[in-house]
């Protein structure tokens, strides 16, 4: 075992935190770019999001390897162990967020060739709310801020409400105008992907709660009820 002094180990944990944040930033940018590609029918941007997913996957593997190395060599305990374990969980959520951004980019690419009417409903607003949840979850991780954790958890209910509103709007649009059915059905998928990204942000927030309190709990109502 290559034993590190406490300060060296702290430095390693700090590096791990910074790498996680860099991965979170990549995932957020992927979501932002995918939505911009959808709004502006920008195929080149959609392609960049799809290609860029490899870099998020690579970060996922690097951080996982780093976590395993720390566990194997340093045998972290208590809060340190929770932090490393949580990092392993968070990278899975961030990797899935990257995958959903790719899904949205693929819809953007498909709809860019679609000549029908364009009705994005409130999807941009939902994307903004979801990105804010992700930002707050990562911020809570950095600040050890349990209030911010609850802000993320509560925002999930608002995003769910927005999802239902968009779903109803798109259903109404499909009923009123058969020409928008194909487009609206793809946009329903986008709403679903955004809703999943919000769930991953809540997962991250719940993990931050675990690091800080040592209590594993399902804080979000939707997670508790499984709805």
- For another protein, the closer of residues 50 and 152 by Cβ is 152
- Using CB under 8 A as the binding rule, the residues of this chain from 123 to 142 that contact another protein are 123-125, 127-128, 131-132, 134-136, 138-139, 142
- Using CB under 8 A as the binding rule, the residues of this chain from 160 to 179 that contact another protein are 169, 172
State the CB neighbour count (10 A cutoff) for residue 43. 16
- For another protein, the closer of residues 44 and 77 by Cβ is 44
Site string for another protein, 141-160 (x = CB under 8 A): -xx-----------------
Residue pair 211/83 in contact (Cβ under 8 Å)? The answer is yes
Burial track 89-107 (b if 16+ CB lie within 10 A, e otherwise): ebbebbbbbbbbbbbbbbb
Residue choice 12, 13, 23, 202 for contact with another protein (CB under 8 A): 23
Residue choice 22, 61, 214, 216 for contact with another protein (CB under 8 A): 22
- Output the furthest CA–CA distance in the chain (Å, rounded): 68
Region near another protein per CB under 8 A, out of 27-35, 87-95, 101-109, 191-199: 27-35
The CA-atom distances, in angstroms, between 103 and each of 45, 50, 123, 193 are 13, 8, 15, 8
Compute the distance between CA of residue 222 and CA of residue 199 in angstroms, rounded to an integer. 9
- For another protein, the closer of residues 51 and 224 by Cβ is 51
Residue pair 20/79 in contact (Cβ under 8 Å)? The answer is no
Coil vs helix vs strand at 75: coil
* Count of CA atoms in the C-beta half-sphere (13 A) of 146: 8
Decide: is 25 part of the binding site for another protein (CB under 8 A). Answer: yes
Residue choice 8, 18, 175, 185 for contact with another protein (CB under 8 A): 18
CB 75, min distance to another protein, A: 25
Decide: is 47 part of the binding site for another protein (CB under 8 A). Answer: no
Decide: is 61 part of the binding site for another protein (CB under 8 A). Answer: no
The CA-atom distances, in angstroms, between 16 and each of 66, 86, 168, 221 are 8, 11, 42, 30
- For another protein, the closer of residues 21 and 146 by Cβ is 21
CA dihedral 130, 100, 106, 172 (to 10 degrees): -50
- For another protein, the closer of residues 132 and 167 by Cβ is 132
By CB under 8 A, name the binding residues for another protein: 14, 17-18, 21-26, 28-29, 32, 35-36, 119-125, 127-128, 131-132, 134-136, 138-139, 142-143, 169, 172
């Amino acid at each position: 075992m290559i034993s590190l002094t406490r300060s060296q180990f702290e430095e390693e944990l700090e590096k791990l935190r910074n790498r996680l944040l860099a991965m979170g930033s990549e995932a957020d940018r992927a979501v932002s770019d995918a939505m911009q590609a959808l709004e502006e029918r920008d195929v080149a941007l959609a392609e960049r999001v799809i290609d860029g997913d490899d870099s998020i996957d690579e970060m996922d593997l690097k951080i996982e390897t780093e976590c395993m190395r720390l566990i194997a060599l340093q045998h972290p305990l208590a809060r340190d162990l929770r932090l490393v374990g949580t990092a392993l969980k968070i990278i899975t959520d961030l990797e899935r967020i990257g995958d959903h951004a790719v899904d949205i980019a693929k819809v953007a690419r498909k709809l860019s060739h679609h000549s029908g009417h364009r009705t994005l409903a409130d999807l941009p607003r939902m994307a903004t709310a979801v990105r804010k949840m992700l930002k707050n979850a990562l911020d809570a991780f950095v600040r050890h801020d349990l209030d911010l954790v609850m802000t993320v958890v509560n925002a999930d209910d608002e995003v769910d409400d927005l999802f239902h509103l968009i779903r109803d709007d798109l259903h109404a649009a499909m009923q009123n105008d058969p020409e928008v059915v194909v487009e609206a059905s793809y946009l329903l998928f986008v709403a679903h992907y955004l809703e999943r990204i919000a769930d991953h942000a809540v997962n991250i927030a719940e993990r931050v709660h675990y690091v800080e309190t040592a209590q594993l709990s399902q804080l979000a109502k939707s997670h508790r009820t499984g709805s």
